[in-house]
């Protein structure tokens, strides 16, 4: 019996982790569909930023209530994973609480897991209430209707169930130890310390050891299978941030937020135009022949860079960006969160085509128009509030700008008034139709 | 004021074989917009007051390309940048001061990669430096004790992390500085950035400048201080929209300092 359960456990572990690796491979493959971007500079500064913002949650706590609760769930998640390590060893080798050789320290560990599990449970319940009962602006947006809302709730239910299973497992284990059940009880006394689950004992007191073992084993199995399932649910949900927040912050822009990248392809053209020695009739250099000229800006995920695509997978749809967006607050269609969700959904669509057909075949859709509307793009004031608000260093503005670049430079599709302002800049060096020769007139006026 | 302001140009300096200490980049709004021209003049008066050796480009100045870039016209932006950098480098400019956060951000952050390397300061930073050096006296004056709130321009604040220079100057005027619910890194945009100044907003239920003006009104200010000609326009329109123009003024930090001392 024991050996069968060990084998079953090994199979579950291999399947669970194997499937997870397959998903991570797909994720990396999809991200690599984007353009390469060099972020190998300033390693020290990047590391410090990651430590501060991702590991240290410095931006999360700017909203004190959700920030504090998130820190609890985050710390709980990390610490309780030490317990998962023990579960895996016990499962593989049929041991009981293998780490208990640590003695007093083990009791402290188990006690702290229990307290954290309770706090996580409370935190997650409050999260559920915030999402479903309180009318919080950022949870009411259009883009959260349907799957995204359900997805968020599934994750919360999952965490609740996992924490309850953990506490039930400990309570029954404790009861079995008290009953002196073989395999559970040890001559040295009680293994572990159960400050929370001890309050569940009245439920289990009268039960026979056989029943208790069934409950304990069921809770143990469901807990670990649940964790393996959750690990694989990540890729299909908004919840990848628990892994991707770290590389995402590391790779985020270090320059001042106001600095927007200069397009090298444009710089080259401008240089050529301004070079008095350039021969306008020169034949293109040989290696360039037949090569497709660089597209300006982005109309699909392939035109974005790999960090922007990573951003889209990292987004956990918290909506802090959207809540701060001046356009969104005043009823415009733009929602920076939707920009990220759309980018991810389109990338996933492309990924699915590659999964089934081996390579991308045009399905008649693209990021622009089929996902992100022009009206959304033109509502942006480039104020950087979304970038500032993101707790994990996502830059929705860079995607908006790249798509505007496509609209203007490839399609000449700027809103009319903007096109006029640009023509003015081109003709007379100011967005208004004033003559450049009148630029100093103010000095002579009273 | 009867006599015209003395505003030397780079060309005049060049003709005399001299170089000013700093170039005042006026910007399109500062040159052409009637409201913003007042800010330009106030700042020039302060420069004279502090005895700063400055010049402007005058008719050789052109749009930095900021609105074009943020509207997606990278090509036009880089054309503007290349032309401006050629002029600036031709005059061997080392230091630039501007009263427009958009010009400030563009020249400071986006020109270096295109060959334009200058020390660039926003006028509030420059005035604060003058104050620290003892060249400019800012204390009390007619705004002493007045309730003033400062609206952070996105391209000075969030974009470049400068929140304190304008506030330090206001404190020197001994005003009652009150902060809006959304300020500094959480400040709400006035609605003009990213080319919005030059177009009608997309359909929505409110204009951004009205939302921001309402936030300012919550703290019941006598003056809304600004540090950007576009914010100034948007907030002025917002105040008018609320029919409060008789009780609430929108003024640039430079105007507040100049007016405080009747310059």
Q: With respect to CATH, is domain B137-260 assigned 3.40.50?
A: yes
CA distances A129 to A115, A156, B41, Å, are 21, 10, 56
pTM (2 d.p.): 0.94
Beta strands B176-178; B119-122: pairing state = unpaired
Nearest to A249 by CA among A399, A78, A51, A77: A51
Q: Give A290's pLDDT tier (boundaries 50, 70, 90).
A: low
CATH fold of the domain at A264-274+294-433:
Fumarate Reductase Iron-sulfur Protein; Chain B, domain 2 (1.10.1060)
Inter-chain residue contact A409 with B160, CB threshold 8 Å: no
Closest chain B residue to A258 measured between Cα atoms? B159
**Left (φ > 0), alpha (ψ -120 to 50) or beta: where does B191 sit?**
left
Tell me the per-residue pLDDT of A145-169, one tens digit each, with 9 for 90 and over. Answer: 999 999 999 999 999 999 999 999 9
**Gap between the Cα atoms of A425 and B27, Å rounded:** 12
**Gap between the Cα atoms of B252 and B230, Å rounded:** 11
Inter-chain residue contact A267 with B191, CB threshold 8 Å: no
End-to-end Cα separation, chain B, in angstroms: 10
Q: Where are the beta strands (DSSP E) in chain B?
A: 22-25, 54-55, 95-98, 119-122, 147-150, 176-178, 223-226, 249-252
Show the tokens assigned to A347. 């990338």
Beta strands B54-55; B22-25: pairing state = parallel
Show the tokens assigned to B120. 């660039």
Tell me the per-residue pLDDT of B209-248, one tens digit each, with 9 for 90 and over. Answer: 999 999 999 999 999 999 999 999 999 999 999 999 999 9
- Fill in the DSSP letter of residue A287: G
Closest chain B residue to A444 measured between Cα atoms? B4
Q: Which of A270, A326, A426 sits opposite B191 (nearest CB)?
A: A326
* Residues of chain B positioned with their CB less than 8 A from the CB of A381: 154, 189, 191-194, 196, 208
Q: With an 8 Å Cβ cutoff, is A362 touching chain B?
A: no
Show the tokens assigned to A224. 């670990």
Tell me the per-residue pLDDT of A339-350, one tens digit each, with 9 for 90 and over. Answer: 999 999 999 999
Q: How many CA atoms lie within 13 A of A300 on its CB side?
A: 13
Can you give the pLDDT at residue B2? 46
Burial label, A321 (beta-carbon count in 10 A; 0-12, 13-18, 19+): buried
Instruction: For chain A, give the percent of residues with pLDDT over 70.
Output: 97
Tell me the per-residue pLDDT of A44-64, one tens digit each, with 9 for 90 and over. Answer: 999 999 999 999 999 999 999
Give, in degrees to the nearest 5, the angle at Cα A406 between A404 and A411: 110
Mean pLDDT of A79-86: 84
Closest chain B residue to A386 measured between Cα atoms? B186
Q: Tell me if B149 sits within 8 A of B214, measured CB to CB.
A: no
Mean pLDDT of B49-56: 96
Is residue B178 within a helix (H) or strand (E), and if so which, with residue range?
strand B176-178
Q: Is A283 a residue whose pLDDT tops 80? A: no
**Gap between the Cα atoms of A194 and A83, Å rounded:** 14
How close A303 gets to chain B, by Cα (Å)?
15
Q: How many CA atoms lie within 13 A of B186 on its CB side?
A: 12
Nearest to B196 by CA among A380, A330, A407, A332: A380
Q: With an 8 Å Cβ cutoff, is A384 touching chain B?
A: yes
CATH of region B10-131: 3.40.50
Q: Which of B113, B159, B196 sits opposite A257 (nearest CB)?
A: B159
Q: Is A287 a residue whose pLDDT tops 60? A: no
Torsion of CA A306, A309, A315, A321, to 10 degrees: 90
| Domain parsing of chain A, residue ranges | 2-31+63-239, 264-274+294-433
* Residues of chain B positioned with their CB less than 8 A from the CB of A303: none
For the ranges A212-216, A271-275, A286-290, B258-262, the lowest mean pLDDT is seen at A286-290
Q: Tell me if B221 sits within 8 A of B227, measured CB to CB.
A: no
How close B111 gets to chain A, by Cα (Å)?
9
**Left (φ > 0), alpha (ψ -120 to 50) or beta: where does A57 sit?**
left
How close B61 gets to chain A, by Cα (Å)?
8
**Gap between the Cα atoms of B201 and A228, Å rounded:** 48
How close B97 gets to chain A, by Cα (Å)?
17
Can you give the pLDDT at residue A414? 95
Q: Give A292's pLDDT tier (boundaries 50, 70, 90).
A: low
Q: Give A289's pLDDT tier (boundaries 50, 70, 90).
A: low
Closest chain B residue to A438 measured between Cα atoms? B59
Inter-chain residue contact B202 with A436, CB threshold 8 Å: no
How many whole angstroms from its chain centre is CA A407? Answer: 28
- φ, ψ at A342 (rounded to 5°): -65, -40
Q: Is A90 a residue whose pLDDT tops 80? A: yes
Inter-chain residue contact A257 with B82, CB threshold 8 Å: no
Inter-chain residue contact A446 with B1, CB threshold 8 Å: yes
How close A407 gets to chain B, by Cα (Å)?
7
Q: Is A187 a residue whose pLDDT tops 80? A: no
Inter-chain residue contact B208 with A431, CB threshold 8 Å: no
How close A167 gets to chain B, by Cα (Å)?
41
Choosing among B11, B37, B72, which should be mutated to test the A contact, i.e. which has the most A CBs within 10 A?
B72
Show the tokens assigned to A262. 């200069």
Q: Which of A274, A333, A383 sits opposite B193 (nearest CB)?
A: A383
Can you give the pLDDT at residue A84? 85
Q: What ipTM, to 2 d.p.?
A: 0.95
Q: With an 8 Å Cβ cutoff, is A391 touching chain B?
A: no
**Average pLDDT of chain A to the nearest whole number:** 92
Inter-chain residue contact A378 with B202, CB threshold 8 Å: yes
Can you give the pLDDT at residue B84? 97
For the ranges A118-132, A175-189, A244-258, B111-125, the lowest mean pLDDT is seen at A175-189
Q: Tell me if A254 sits within 8 A of B108, measured CB to CB.
A: no
Can you give the pLDDT at residue A286? 53
* Residues of chain A positioned with their CB less than 8 A from the CB of B34: none
Q: With an 8 Å Cβ cutoff, is A260 touching chain B?
A: yes
Q: With an 8 Å Cβ cutoff, is A324 touching chain B?
A: yes
Inter-chain residue contact B191 with A381, CB threshold 8 Å: yes
Q: Tell me if B226 sits within 8 A of B256, measured CB to CB.
A: no
* Residues of chain B positioned with their CB less than 8 A from the CB of A267: 78, 114
Can you give the pLDDT at residue B1? 47
Q: DSSP readout, A154-179?
A: HHHHHHHHHHHHHHHHHHHHHHHHHH
How close B190 gets to chain A, by Cα (Å)?
8
Query: Cβ of B197: how many Cβ atoms within 10 Å?
Result: 22
Tell me the per-residue pLDDT of B9-19, one tens digit each, with 9 for 90 and over. Answer: 999 999 999 99
**Average pLDDT of chain B to the nearest whole number:** 95
Tell me the per-residue pLDDT of A296-320, one tens digit each, with 9 for 90 and over. Answer: 999 999 999 999 999 999 999 999 9
Show the tokens assigned to B3. 């006599």
| Domain parsing of chain B, residue ranges | 10-131, 137-260
Inter-chain residue contact A255 with B76, CB threshold 8 Å: no
Inter-chain residue contact B79 with A270, CB threshold 8 Å: yes
């Amino acid at each position: 019996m024991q050996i069968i359960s060990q084998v079953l456990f090994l199979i579950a572990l291999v399947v669970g982790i194997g499937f997870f690796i397959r998903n991570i491979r797909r994720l990396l493959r999809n991200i690599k569909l984007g353009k390469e971007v060099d972020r190998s500079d300033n390693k020290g500064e990047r590391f410090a930023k990651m430590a501060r913002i991702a590991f240290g949650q410095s931006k999360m706590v700017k909203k004190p209530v959700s920030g504090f609760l998130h820190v609890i769930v985050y710390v709980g998640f990390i610490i309780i994973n030490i317990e998962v390590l023990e579960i895996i060893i016990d499962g593989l080798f049929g041991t009981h609480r293998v780490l208990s050789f640590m003695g007093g320290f083990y009791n402290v560990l188990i006690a702290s897991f229990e307290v954290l599990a309770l706090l996580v449970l409370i935190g997650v319940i409050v999260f559920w209430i915030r999402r479903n009962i309180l009318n919080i602006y950022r949870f009411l947006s259009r883009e959260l209707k349907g799957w995204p809302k359900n997805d968020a709730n599934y994750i919360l239910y999952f965490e609740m169930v996992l924490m309850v299973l953990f506490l039930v497992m400990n309570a029954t284990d404790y009861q079995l130890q008290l009953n002196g059940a073989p395999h559970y009880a040890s001559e040295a006394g009680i293994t572990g310390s159960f400050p929370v689950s001890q309050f569940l004992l009245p439920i289990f007191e009268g039960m026979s050891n056989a029943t208790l073992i069934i409950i304990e084993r069921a809770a143990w199995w469901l807990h670990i299978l649940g964790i393996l399932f959750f690990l694989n649910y990540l890729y299909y949900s908004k919840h990848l941030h628990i892994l991707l927040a770290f590389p995402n912050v590391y790779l985020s822009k270090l320059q001042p937020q106001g600095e927007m990248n200069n397009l090298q392809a444009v710089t080259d053209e401008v240089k050529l135009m301004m070079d008095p020695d350039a021969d306008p009739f020169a034949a293109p250099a040989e290696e360039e022949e037949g090569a497709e000229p660089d597209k300006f800006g982005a109309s699909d995920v392939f035109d974005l860079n790999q960090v922007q695509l990573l951003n889209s997978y990292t987004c956990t749809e918290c909506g802090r960006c959207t809540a701060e967006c001046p356009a969104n607050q005043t009823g415009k269609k733009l929602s920076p969160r939707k920009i990220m969700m759309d980018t991810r959904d389109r990338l996933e669509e492309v990924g699915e085509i590659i999964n089934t057909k081996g390579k991308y075949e045009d399905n008649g859709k693209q990021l622009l128009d089929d996902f992100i509307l022009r009206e959304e793009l033109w509502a942006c004031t480039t104020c950087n509030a979304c970038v500032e608000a993101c707790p994990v260093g996502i830059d929705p503005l860079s995607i908006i700008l790249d798509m505007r670049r496509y609209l203007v430079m490839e399609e000449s599709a700027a809103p009319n008034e903007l096109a006029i302002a640009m023509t003015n800049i081109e003709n007379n060096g100011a967005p208004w139709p004033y003559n450049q020769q009148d630029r100093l007139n103010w000095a002579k006026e009273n | 004021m009867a006599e015209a302001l003395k505003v030397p140009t780079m060309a005049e300096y060049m003709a005399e074989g001299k170089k000013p200490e700093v170039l005042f980049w006026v910007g399109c709004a500062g040159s052409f917009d009637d409201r913003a021209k007042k800010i330009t003049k106030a700042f020039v008066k302060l420069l004279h007051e502090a005895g700063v050796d400055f010049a402007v480009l005058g008719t050789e100045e052109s749009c930095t390309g900021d609105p074009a870039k943020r509207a997606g016209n990278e090509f036009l932006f880089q054309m503007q940048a290349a032309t401006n950098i050629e002029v600036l480098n031709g005059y061997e400019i080392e230091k630039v001061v501007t009263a427009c956060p958009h010009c400030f951000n563009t020249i400071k952050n986006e020109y270096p990669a295109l060959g334009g390397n200058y020390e660039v300061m926003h006028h509030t930073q420059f005035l604060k430096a003058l104050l620290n050096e003892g060249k400019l006296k800012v204390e009390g004056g007619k705004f002493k004790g007045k309730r003033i709130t400062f609206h952070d321009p996105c391209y000075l604040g969030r974009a470049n992390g400068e929140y304190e220079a304008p506030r330090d100057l206001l404190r020197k005027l001994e005003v009652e500085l009150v902060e809006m619910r959304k300020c500094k890194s959480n400040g709400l945009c006035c609605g003009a950035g990213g080319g919005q100044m030059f177009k009608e907003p997309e359909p929505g239920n409110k204009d951004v400048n009205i939302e921001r003006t309402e936030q300012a009104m919550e703290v019941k200010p006598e003056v809304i201080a600004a540090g950007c000609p576009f914010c100034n326009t948007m907030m002025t329109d917002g105040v008018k929209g609320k029919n409060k123009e008789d009780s609430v003024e929108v003024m640039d930090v430079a105007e507040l300092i100049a007016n405080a001392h009747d310059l």
